[in-house]
Amino acid sequence: MNQHNITNESLGLALILVLVALFVSRKEKLGLEKDIIWSVSRAIVQLVIVGYVLKYIFDLQNAALTVLMVLFICVNAALNARKRSRNIDNAFVLSFIAITLSTTLTLVILVMSGSIEFMPMQVIPVSGMIAGNAMVAVGLCYNNLNQRFSDNQQKVQEMLSLGASVKLASASIIRDSIRSAMIPGVDAAKTVGLVSLPGMMSGLIFAGIDPVKAIKYQIMVTFMLLGTASVATIVAGYLAYRRFFTPRAQLKSME
């Protein structure tokens, strides 16, 4: 199979798709023109910089730089997940622990199983997918914790007044928050191949890899994303719920 190389000219013509989005925003008075231009410009700059950085790291084949790049990805994922943590103190630290732990565990399993090799060209792209998925899952978990603690203030306070521990009073909220955060990943796994052809599989097919072989990689990705989301949300949920209470085990005001 022949590889397809996208040219700068064809990439420039593909910019028409962004112009379509700008036209729709302006015609429907959505007010998203500035956001679209800023986000697209930022994406281009970030991707160009990352492309050159990755080329440098791939050429060096240095294990320490590979680990540092993975940590850099986890730090940025934690910073973004923190934005969803309205009532959660030290959310960056909690997010970093959850994302880094789940990413590291997944990478170790993948490397030990022989699914990928410990080399920059494989570890870094996979880490990006893993950490990005963990970031979304942790952010959803925070959103659900905030919403459920706000909706169930009276119930939690009643349980505490009857002598329940903070963990017991929060158990159903934690469980429901973790479950809700995992649902998008579970639903995506149900429809993969039927509704969507995900990035890993599509990229390999574009690169000329046999579709059957590409499917194997996509199955691996499905496994790792589900596993990462479950670990990240469990860790984040159980680390974060205590932040809704004072040191004297009283529920903080949900404003």
Number of structural domains found in the chain: 2
Q: Residue 90: which domain range?
A: 63-244
pLDDT at 2: 55
Note the pLDDT tens digit of each residue in 191-219. 776 666 666 677 777 777 787 887 888 88
Q: Are residues 17 and 130 in the same domain?
A: no
Inside any domain, residue 20: yes
Q: Are residues 73 and 40 in the same domain?
A: no
Q: Are residues 19 and 73 in the same domain?
A: no
| 89-98 CB contacts, 8 Å cutoff, 24+ apart | 89/243, 90/243, 91/142, 91/240, 91/243, 94/236, 94/239, 94/240, 94/243, 95/135, 95/138, 95/236, 97/235, 97/239, 98/134, 98/138, 98/231, 98/232, 98/233, 98/235, 98/236, 98/239
Note the pLDDT tens digit of each residue in 168-185. 999 999 999 999 999 988
Note the pLDDT tens digit of each residue in 56-85. 888 888 889 999 999 999 999 999 998 888
194 versus 131: which is more confidently predicted? 131
Task: Give the end of a domain, one of 31, 60, 89.
Answer: 60
Inside any domain, residue 188: yes
Q: Are residues 136 and 30 in the same domain?
A: no
Q: Are residues 35 and 96 in the same domain?
A: no
Q: Are residues 181 and 166 in the same domain?
A: yes
Average pLDDT, the chain: 87
Closest CA to 128 of 244, 39, 221, 10: 221
Q: Are residues 151 and 170 in the same domain?
A: yes
Inside any domain, residue 166: yes
pLDDT at 150 exceeding the cut of 90? no
Q: Are residues 106 and 29 in the same domain?
A: no
Residues 11-24, mean pLDDT to the nearest whole number: 90
